Structure 1
Amino acid sequence: MISGNCWFRYANNVPLNASDFAENVNVLDYVETDKEGNRHTWCWVTDIELTEETVEEIMIGGRCRWHIENQTFNTLKNQGYNIEHNYGHGKYHLATNLAYLTFLAFMVDQIQEMTSPEFQKALKERSKGVRTYLWKLITRIFLSWFLEGWDELFEAINKGIKPGRVKINTS
């Protein structure tokens, strides 16, 4: 992977900041020049000792982690969660709390996507993989009908609800 258009620079045991009590870390820079001549630089801080033998593997792992984080933020920004990279903290941490609730909702959705066949079917068949449509559909059904649980919600999405059908628990 190391070629004429990319190179590494690294240092071990570098103070994290100017404090007298700063922890020492290891720093890796990876510089790459693309076909158009534009230079791109990535930098990672790690507690793993950096050597000629380890820098490429650390760089590959760092790039993979960045890619995963970027996909997650793109999902949170563009798939109906309406969160921005710089969400801000707001007065009395309101925006921070709203961001936490958004992350919690995202986590619940991720758990459902991994474990619930009904959710997987709803995402695949009804929204063609676009979550914003699914969230709008869930909201519409949730606000319009009395539901006894998640199973009934996904049944309504996957099988369709006929207008005028309302289940009311009279027990």
Structure 2
Amino acid sequence: MRLSPTGIKWWFRYANDVRLNKAKYAEQVNVLDFVETDKKGKQHIWCWVTDIPLNEETIEPVMKGGRCRWHIENQTFNTLKNQGYDLEHNYGHGEKHLATNLAYLTMLAFLVDQIQELCCPQFQEALRTRSKGVRIALWKWIQGYFLHWLIKTWEGLFYTVTHGIEEKRVIPFDTS
């Protein structure tokens, strides 16, 4: 057992070549547990299955990589749940896979947004200036323009979100 300067106790346990299930020809895996006890005595356990051979030199890097990956996945689910995508962990499958298809479409929208955030200067500017980096605020601005104006290009939409409606740059009112 190890003790951190902040008073958190932690330790590892691991096993190599563990059968994944009871099947006759089950895959062999390596299992790592990381156990942490906070100052209040509450215990937290993380467990990873890997093909990396575990020993005293590899357990800490494997644990750090696993915690980092968990953190990234948790942030992604948090974004999908709380930043306007409305995806829940228990989205369910529904009848005839409707909910599954809606979850796929939500993931596709998230992918497009991620690509825009990486590659589209207009999107980056709109996200930074108008919504202060909060996606749900940007979605509300975009939704407002979509409901009231005929949007012909993404550039026009992001320019309008960033700079507002200007008489010189006309976006026709949606009369449909």
TM-score by length of 2: 0.89
| 2:172 aligned residue | 167
Superposed CA RMSD in Å reads 1.6
Of 149, 158, 161, the match for 2:162: 158
Helix, strand or coil for the counterpart of 2:130?
helix
Of 108, 112, 135, the match for 1:108: 112
Tell me how far 1:139 sits from its aligned partner: 1.5
Are 1:147 and 2:151 matched, yes or no? Answer: yes
Are 1:131 and 2:131 matched, yes or no? Answer: no
- Percent identity, aligned pairs only, is 64
Task: Say which is worse superposed, 13-22 or 64-73, in terms of deviation.
Answer: 13-22
Tell me how far 1:21 sits from its aligned partner: 3.3
The residue type paired with residue 39 of structure 1 is: Q
Deviations 1:11-32 (A, max 9, x none): 1111112222321111100101
Long gaps (5+) in structure 1: none
Distance 2:104 2:60 in 1: 35
Of 60, 63, 73, the match for 1:59: 63
Long gaps (5+) in structure 2: 4-8
TM-score by length of 1: 0.91
Deviations 1:130-167 (A, max 9, x none): 1111111111212322222111110111111259x543
Helix, strand or coil for the counterpart of 2:2?
coil
Deviations 1:9-64 (A, max 9, x none): 11111111222232111110010111111111000001111111100000000000
